[in-house]
């Protein structure tokens, strides 16, 4: 006496290497097809995803997918500030727009690594080493904030890019005289010192108290 039965042998999935894509390079605007063949029993189901979890763009339902191409960051020059001049006490907005995929993040810092001074409408001042956002607003600017600012755009796709923007703060001349009273014997030489701080650079000249040169 016997009874017939059915035995299913399961085989874990394995890739068919000769029919599976390796690493590829594709120019921006081009198309690439990635193929992934697997064997096993029951027949394996193939699932695709991006390692960074960004959505795939599926062009065909046959199992062949089109890869979404990442694009390194680049600046939109017509929407990005150049060097600027602003009077002391004024306000300047620095804009740095970048494109790329994924969407780039924009970070600001000073080239000399001095802290940025962020002034809130309430009057509260905050010092930060970096500031994130496309627009950096410098209000009630002082001469100490004059210098080179860097905006850095990155999106995880190398290389990151940076742009240098020079902020020139104009202010009235400030005069410092170390010795306001100098004495010297008759018919001897004497040196008079006068230090001037101004932006733009001032034109300096000497006159006597009578108004004569």
62-113 per-position pLDDT tens digit: 555 555 567 889 999 999 999 999 999 999 999 999 999 889 999 999 999 9
pLDDT at 55: 65
Q: Tell me how far CA of residue 27 lies from CA of 66, 68, 74, in angstroms.
A: 13, 12, 16
Q: Is residue 177 part of a domain?
A: no
Task: Record the tokens describing residue 164, joined without a space.
Answer: 């240098």
- Specify the 3-state DSSP secondary structure of 18: helix
pLDDT band at 32 (very low <50, low <70, confident <90, very high): confident
Q: Residue 65 and residue 55: Cα distance in Å, rounded? A: 12
Q: Residue 147 and residue 188: Cα distance in Å, rounded? A: 43
Least Cα distance to 97 among 117, 82, 112, 119 occurs for: 82
Mean pLDDT, residues 112-116 taken together: 95
Structural domain count of the chain: 2
Using the 3D structure, point to which of 17, 46, 69 is the last residue of a domain.
Answer: 69
Containing structural domain, residue 59: 1-69
CATH of the domain at 117: 2.60.40.10
Residue 212 phi, psi dihedral angles, 5° rounding: -90, 150
Task: Record the tokens describing residue 185, joined without a space.
Answer: 């014997």
């Amino acid at each position: 006496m016997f009874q017939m039965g059915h035995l299913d042998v399961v085989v874990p999935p394995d890739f068919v290497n000769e029919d599976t894509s390796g690493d590829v390079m594709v120019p921006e605007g081009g198309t690439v097809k990635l193929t992934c063949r697997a064997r096993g029993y029951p027949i394996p189901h193939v699932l695709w995803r991006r390692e960074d979890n960004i959505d795939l763009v599926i062009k065909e339902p046959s199992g062949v997918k089109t890869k979404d191409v990442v694009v390194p960051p680049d600046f939109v020059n017509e929407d990005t500030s150049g060097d600027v001049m602003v009077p002391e006490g004024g306000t300047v907005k620095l804009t740095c727009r970048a494109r790329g995929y994924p969407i780039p993040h924009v970070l600001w810092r000073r080239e000399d690594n001095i802290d940025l001074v962020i002034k809130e409408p309430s009057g509260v001042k905050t010092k930060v080493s970096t500031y994130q956002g496309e627009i950096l607003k410098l209000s009630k600017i002082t001469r100490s904030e004059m210098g080179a600012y860097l905006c850095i755009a990155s999106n995880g796709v190398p290389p990151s890019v940076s742009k240098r923007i020079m902020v020139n703060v104009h202010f009235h001349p400030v005069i410092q005289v170390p010795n306001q009273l100098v004495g010297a014997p008759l018919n001897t030489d004497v040196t008079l010192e006068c230090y001037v701080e101004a932006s733009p650079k001032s034109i300096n000249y000497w006159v006597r108290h009578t108004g004569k040169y």
